[in-house]
Amino acid sequence: MILDPLLSPIDILGLTRDEFLDRALAFGAKRPRALAIYRAAFRDGVALEPWVTLRRPPIVNSHVEGNTIKFVQRHDDGLETESVLIPMFGRAGQMTRTLCVSSQIGCAMGCRFCETAQMGLMRNLDAAAIVAQWFGATHDVGERPKNIVFMGMGEPMDNLDSVLQALRVLCDHDGAAMAASNIAVSTVGRVDGIRRYGDFVRQRGFHRANLAVSLNAPNDEIRGSIMPINRKHGMAELREAMLSFPLRPKAAICVEYVLIPGVNDALDHCDELCAYLKGIRCSLNVIPYNPRRDSPWRAPTEDEVSAFMARAIENGQFVKRRQTKGRSVMGACGQLGNPHIRRRKFVDLGVPGRDSGHATQTDRAAPGCNDEHGGDSCR
């Protein structure tokens, strides 16, 4: 049966070039034209033919704090996806942006320090909706990200089929053309997901993609008290999964550690953590806790953060500190999904369009897990 392409246009955003070509050729398009359509869709943000669509949720709100931009896309069912563009500064001072994307609306993992956990899981995003966040940042906000981190709402390993398809699309040379080395997928410690993602990373074209693990505790007792996933996958099992993850030479797993005063910030905790990490090629990324709504904990002081990091260095652990960004837009670590954001007055960026009107004040660089990707996250 020949479909009428005008009645059911091809939705490009969730498709790799080859998947699109298959469908376009079936519609009777010539290959060179179909290729031009695919490239124009991702590179220029335009649909060249009426039988293709670039269907993405409209940006309904956006907010700027310094150079950090948070934007909200509203889906057909009324649910919203939140994404954050985070500024990164290179050695020469040039600014690039890291896009923190969501893989789910809400999250089922229930981490006690996390704002998104308060929402529960509403639903998964499909690959097109994940890619739509890149598209929205690039063509609607007008800020093409250099890096992408899957550290927004949701646990990527809980929705891995869609996440992997999104990676295929984002890394397609004829499309978004993201470098796999500039992409990091973060997990709360779904060991099965780490193994599957490892298999994916072994494939040609993806072997430079990065893994981040949200660890946040030096031992099972503390981890289990703030992260329910630890009851299913304990730290020993998680350590095995990290050790077996395929790392390219000189690459490192980003181990995220949200520093929460009175919970996991003692110097003894640091010693125990460093012992746990010994033998794992990793960068410890210390993230000062951003108190969520009704948080039982406060943010750590500068002295507390410095003391913890100094102790990690004494232990021979490579460590970086994440600058907290976007706190006032609730786009900082662990703050996506705050319902208050929807009641605030947002800065009108004039989207869709390219004139973002972003503030240009300088901001300090956030350290990444390695020099190749931003490694910043929204958790």
> Which residues are the active-site residues?
333
226 near ligand SF4, judged by CB under 6 A: no
Question: Tokens 């250099």 map to which residue?
Answer: 146
Exposure class string for 135-169: b at 16+ Cβ within 10 A, else e: bbbbbbbbbbbbbbbbbbbbbbbbbbebbbbbbbb
111 near ligand SF4, judged by CB under 6 A: yes
Name residue 185's beta-bridge partners.
150, 211
Per CB under 6 A, the segment of 27-35, 107-115, 139-147, 297-305 that binds ligand SF4 is 107-115
287 near ligand SF4, judged by CB under 6 A: no
Q: How far is the CB of 102 from ligand SF4 (least distance, A)?
A: 9
290 near ligand SF4, judged by CB under 6 A: no
Kindly tell me which of 41 and 111 has the beta carbon lying closer to ligand SF4: 111
128 near ligand SF4, judged by CB under 6 A: no
- Determine the Cα–Cα distance for residues 68 and 65; give it in Å rounded to an integer: 5
223 near ligand SF4, judged by CB under 6 A: no
82 near ligand SF4, judged by CB under 6 A: no
Instruction: Name which of residues 151 to 170 contact ligand SF4 (CB under 6 A).
Output: 153-155
Name residue 319's beta-bridge partners.
284
379 near ligand SF4, judged by CB under 6 A: yes
Q: What is the DSSP letter of 164?
A: H
Per CB under 6 A, the segment of 13-21, 106-114, 235-243, 309-317 that binds ligand SF4 is 106-114
- Determine the Cα–Cα distance for residues 361 and 10; give it in Å rounded to an integer: 41
Tokens of 182: 């500039």
Binding-site member from 24, 188, 213, 241 for ligand SF4 (CB under 6 A): 188
114 near ligand SF4, judged by CB under 6 A: yes
Q: What is the DSSP letter of 8?
A: S
Inter-residue contact 373 to 248 (CB < 8 Å)? no
Mode of pairing for the β-strands spanning 95-100 and 104-106: unpaired
Binding-site member from 15, 29, 54, 109 for ligand SF4 (CB under 6 A): 109
Per CB under 6 A, the segment of 102-110, 319-327, 349-357, 359-367 that binds ligand SF4 is 102-110
Positive or negative CA dihedral for 119, 124, 130, 132?
Answer: negative
149 near ligand SF4, judged by CB under 6 A: no
Interhelix angle 235-244/191-201, nearest 10 degrees: 0
Residues that bind ligand SF4 (CB under 6 A): 107, 109-111, 114, 116-117, 153-155, 188, 214, 379
